């Protein structure tokens, strides 16, 4: 699945996403000489930090413009659907930040990551968890419903920590941690900047979102609906983010053989 993300728009309106990735990067703890896959690498902001730690890092992303931006930084990056990873026992770790909620077939992602890892390899990431941008999605749904459009399509995959940990175990992983982290997040360019960047891929799945629809009016209405909940008394906008941070490990061969049923 490819997405039409603009690297320039993302850098202008969503640089905070990578800036807030320090804690999950610390959980990854990349080491010199390791080979690491950055799943959903975006424009390479965090991929560069993994490389700076001395690891050999490969980035994959479904957005061609983002991959070009990562390559422009001198990174090894390629276009690939995270739900259809093609690697086999190639990495010591797989890392992902703020990307897995755009890959709704979570079981396929987990299976692909498991194949991509060497025995003993780790899967470390953070993405939207249960309750993430609930107010924003509700406002988008309300504005779409008022226009007779199928608001039910504006949903993202935001699992609970318990559900995702269960999925990881079902995929063969040993789960070290999986936790929801409420993270009210200041939007440097306000709600309109956020909507300009993120609402387009959200709305692309809604039938009837043709050129005849006045998107500017739609976004103004959404911003008005959100102001009482997300705008502070000083005019700043704070998004209702909730993140799911996790670390899981692929068992070593002898352990995996003991727990996996025979074919």
What is the signed CA dihedral for 3, 4, 10, 11, rounded to 10 degrees?
A: 110
Q: Which of 8-22, 69-83, 189-203, 218-232 has the lowest mean pLDDT?
A: 8-22
Pick the CATH number of 7-254 from 3.40.50.150, 3.30.365.10, 3.40.50.720, 3.40.30.120: 3.40.50.150
Distance CA(73)–CA(43), nearest Å, equals 9
The string of pLDDT tens digits covering residues 83-123 is 999 999 999 999 999 999 999 999 999 999 999 999 999 99
Distance CA(46)–CA(27), nearest Å, equals 13
User: Is the pTM here over 0.85, yes or no?
Assistant: yes
- What does the domain layout of the chain look like in residue ranges? 7-254
The string of pLDDT tens digits covering residues 232-258 is 999 999 999 999 999 999 999 745 444
């Amino acid at each position: 699945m490819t997405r039409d993300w603009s690297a320039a728009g993302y850098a202008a309106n969503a640089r905070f996403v990578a800036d807030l990735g320090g804690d999950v990067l610390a959980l990854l703890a990349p080491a010199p000489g390791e080979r690491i896959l950055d799943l959903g690498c975006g424009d390479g902001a965090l991929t560069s930090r993994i490389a700076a730690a001395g690891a050999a890092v490969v980035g994959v992303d479904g957005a061609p413009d983002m991959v070009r931006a990562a390559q422009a930084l001198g990174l090894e990056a390629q276009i690939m659907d995270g739900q259809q990873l093609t690697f086999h026992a190639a990495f010591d770790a797989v890392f992902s930040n703020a990307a897995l909620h755009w890959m709704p077939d979570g079981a396929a992602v987990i299976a692909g990551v498991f194949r991509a890892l060497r025995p003993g390899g780790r899967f470390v990431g953070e993405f939207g968890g249960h309750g993430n941008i609930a107010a924003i999605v509700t406002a988008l749904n309300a504005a779409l419903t008022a226009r007779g459009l199928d608001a039910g399509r504006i949903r993202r995959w935001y699992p609970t920590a318990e559900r995702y940990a269960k999925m990881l175990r079902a995929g063969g992983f040993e789960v070290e941690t999986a936790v929801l982290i409420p993270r009210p997040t200041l939007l440097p360019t306000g709600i309109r900047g956020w909507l300009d960047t993120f609402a387009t891929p959200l709305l692309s799945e809604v039938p009837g979102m043709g050129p005849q629809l006045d998107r500017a009016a739609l976004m103004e209405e959404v911003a008005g609906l959100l102001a009482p909940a997300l705008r502070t008394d000083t005019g700043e906008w704070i998004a209702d983010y909730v993140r799911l941070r996790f670390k899981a490990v692929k068992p070593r061969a002898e352990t995996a053989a003991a727990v996996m049923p025979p074919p």
